[in-house]
Amino acid sequence: MEPGGALMAERLLEVEDLSVHFATVDGTVKAVDGVSFELERGKVLGIVGESGSGKSVTAMTLMGLTRDVNAHFGGEVRYKGRNLLELSESEMQGYRGNEIGMIFQDPMTSLNPVYRIGEQIVEAVQAHDKVDKRVAKRRAVELLKQVGIPNPESRVDDFPHQFSGGMRQRAMIAMALSCNPDVLIADEPTTALDVTIQAQIIELIGRLKDDFNSAVIMITHDLGVVAEIADEIIVMYAGRVVEQAEKRDLFYDPQMPYTWGLLGSIPRLDRPKPERLHSIKGAPPSVINAPAGCKFRPRCPHAFEKCVDEPALENRVEKPGHLDRCWLDVEVKRALRDATISGDTQEAA
Amino acid sequence: MSTNGIQPLVEIKHVKKYFPIRKGVLQREVARVHAVDDVSFSVRAGETLGLVGESGCGKSTLGRTIVRLLEPTAGEISFEGQRIENFSSRQLRPLRRQMQMVFQDPYASLNPRKRVGTIIDDPMKIHGLGDKRQRKARVEELLETVGLSPEHYNRFPHEFSGGQRQRIGIARALALQPKLIVADEPVSALDVSIQSQMLNLLEDLQNEFNLTYIFIAHDLGVVRHVSDRIAVMYLGKLVELSPAEELYTRPIMPYTEALLSAVPIPDPDLAAARERIVLEGDVPSPINPPTGCRFHPRCRYATQVCAEVEPPLVEYGNGHLAACHHPLNVDAAALQQAHVASSTPLAAEENALPRGTSGASNPVSGEGGHPGGTPGPA
């Protein structure tokens, strides 16, 4: 592992044209289809999308958790230059947890109810470090302290049911950090929690990223969460990246009508209450028989003839690195956008 | 809406719901969970009352107690002026037509082995409404009302997405033409784009059928959008009740301030600029709730009095009630006008009107109050 703070712009992870397809009796599920991004040390990448958009499958593939006889992978996942997709299962073990840690959504079901919190962290520590149990336990106490569990010396011997939801999520984070991973993947880490606890956890993840000098991939459906913590944001839809930009560009100059829809669907506290919320008509498409052309076309209020061909993920605005998949002219979009986001346009639900 | 403009549709007074904790062979009661502890409010016909709070604050228990799915431990519940807290299940049956629930989990609240048509038809069948043909026509009409199609009549719940299932749950609740719908977190299991469809649908249905909603949710953005008035609960107590918009611009209770402050705002510059009040720790156990003001261990304005004396619910005008010794956003004039509300809990100290305020606070834009407070009029 690198000494702390040595290389700030060190590229930890490069995902290139990643696709994950699952063969099922109903046909091929293209869960992830041509996803590319990079992650540098010290950065937070937000992946935003609705259920079925492929955001969780992307994360689980980085961890090597989607390997299955029916799963087919394409593209590359390079971690510090090494393609993780080519590793054997036992080689992958050396990366999983050790180099890339993961926090799951549901702290209720991700902890084993019959083992003490401490035992579960000790197990994670010992899986990668050859240390004896006493040392590992001392490390577990230290970790619980870092994630803000009060009285870690005694709470380390508690069972998961003795922890509240927020504390369980903290314990999960402690476990994910137990081997000092360079990349931390948080898959909807706050969705099951109350807003007050969510604020605590977001703050904690941001602080730990700096303390541990790592990078974070934050997966969420909540644009409010990424507005707080992310540096760069990817919006996914039906297995595809549909927009990718630095945080401020995504919020203040969104290019993809789907992103507008997401922004407009949130009842916001910082704006006057709209008469009606903008709603995206219909439901996300099936990933088995995705529509031809732009995947968002059937739900898009601005679709036109050209949309039957799928636009490439390209830079269409002044700002380099801001990519989108939409044929509409940039100036037209800028004129249409605010009405859509503020809910002024009416669409049948 | 209906004939009586003055009488509220639902009125609850000092409602308590305790759950006993039993232990040992004799199943003796060793402790009680104070899920709802002396809550009073009324809901006017045609209005939406939002009920918010963290998990474990008793909002769902209260919702279920109001429709008498749970027995209240104490207190009065009136529906259209009729006291119903002691009604037997037989007496309740005709009332069940008037009040229906929509549940949170669209997966668990529909019987997977019944067809959609049967699910929506069953309430009408139980209440003996119409013959088979009329009921089928009505089910098809309901399916269209909630944005599904009549052809869905013979399908099973598993053939639908989460949002469509929630529509089925709403159609079932509407089948008996109720006056009151208690919606318990109806959109929290749904994706954002589907969530906004559902909120718009609930709004349309309210206008069309003159429904009264009690809308239980933890998402303050959602609650603001649908509610006329909002009740904030903490550990079984009603701590603030306010007209909807006013709660967001002028929260009085520091707990409300903290809740609002914790809501993430999808605007990076604003999010970076505003000062967040991060509440330490978790909600205490409702088995042994803190003395005095139940929020005092987590409150940044708390003083000695908060730990000792339970604050009364104080009316600050415009129907805005709050229970706090150190209220926010209350000027000297409002403080002098303030008086104890008639719905204050019985255990609260009636003479303990707040003497000072904690300053102005707008947690949405990030302007906080001042711990320590300002001296008020003597």
Nearest CA in chain B to A198: B262
To test the contact with chain B by mutation, choose from A270, A278, A342, A345 the residue with the greatest count of B C-beta atoms within 10 A, namely A270
State the pLDDT at residue B369: 67
Q: Is A301 on the interface with B (CB under 8 A)?
A: no
The least confident of A199-203, A302-306, A309-313 is A199-203
State the pLDDT at residue A109: 82
Mean pLDDT value across chain B: 90
Nearest CA in chain B to A196: B262
Mean pLDDT of B44-51: 95
Q: Which two tokens stand for residue B89?
A: 């299940």
Q: Is B128 exposed, middle or buried (0-12, 13-18, 19+ CB in 10 A)?
A: exposed
Q: How far apart are CA A128 and CA A95, in angstroms?
A: 9
Exposure letters B324-345 (e unless 16+ CB within 10 A, then b): bbbbbbbeeebbeebebbebbb
Q: Which two tokens stand for residue A88?
A: 């054997």
Chain centroid to CA B314: how far?
20
Q: A residues 252-281 near B, CB within 8 Å? A: 252, 261-270, 273, 276-281
- For the cut 70, the answer to whether the pLDDT of residue B297 exceeds it is yes
Model pTM score:
0.87
Close Cβ partners of A51 (under 8 Å, ≥ 6 residues apart): A221, A284, B162, B191
Backbone angles phi and psi of A280, in degrees to 5: -80, 120
Helix, strand, or coil (residue A229): helix
Instruction: Render pLDDT for A87-119 as a digit per residue (tens, 0 to 9).
Output: 999 999 989 988 999 998 877 788 999 999 999
Q: How far apart are CA B207 and CA B162, in angstroms?
A: 24
Q: B residues 96-135 near A, CB within 8 Å? A: none
Q: Is B308 on the interface with A (CB under 8 A)?
A: no
Mean pLDDT of B39-67: 93
Q: How far apart are CA B276 and CA A200, in angstroms?
A: 10
Residues of chain A in contact with residue B54, where contact means CB-CB under 8 angstroms, are 194-197
Report the first-to-last Cα separation within chain B, whole angstroms: 45
CB B301 within 8 A of CB B371: yes
Exposure letters B103-117 (e unless 16+ CB within 10 A, then b): bbebeebbeeeebbb
Instruction: Render pLDDT for A207-216 as a digit per residue (tens, 0 to 9).
Output: 889 988 999 9
- For the cut 70, the answer to whether the pLDDT of residue B2 exceeds it is no
CB B201 within 8 A of CB B167: yes
Q: How far apart are CA B148 and CA A208, in angstroms?
A: 47
Instruction: Render pLDDT for A149-198 as a digit per residue (tens, 0 to 9).
Output: 888 999 999 999 988 888 898 999 999 988 889 999 999 888 878 888 88
CB contact under 8 A, B196 and A273: no
Q: Is B218 on the interface with A (CB under 8 A)?
A: yes
Q: Which residue, chain included where needed, has tokens 């549909």?
A: A242
Q: Is B86 on the interface with A (CB under 8 A)?
A: no
Nearest CA in chain A to B256: A196
State the pLDDT at residue B378: 32
Q: How far apart are CA A342 and CA B223, in angstroms?
A: 18
Distance, in angstroms, between A62 CA and closest chain B CA?
24
Q: How far apart are CA A51 and CA A220, in angstroms?
A: 10
Return the percentage of chain A with pLDDT > 90, whole number.
62
Instruction: Render pLDDT for A54-86 as a digit per residue (tens, 0 to 9).
Output: 999 999 999 999 999 999 999 999 999 999 999
Distance, in angstroms, between B132 CA and closest chain A CA?
30
Q: How far apart are CA B278 and CA A206, in angstroms?
A: 14
Which value does ipTM take for this structure?
Answer: 0.82
Q: Which two tokens stand for residue B303?
A: 């003083």
Q: How far apart are CA B146 and CA B160, in angstroms?
A: 14
Q: How far apart are CA A158 and CA A167, in angstroms?
A: 11
Residues of chain B in contact with residue A200, where contact means CB-CB under 8 angstroms, are 278-279
CB A279 within 8 A of CB B197: yes
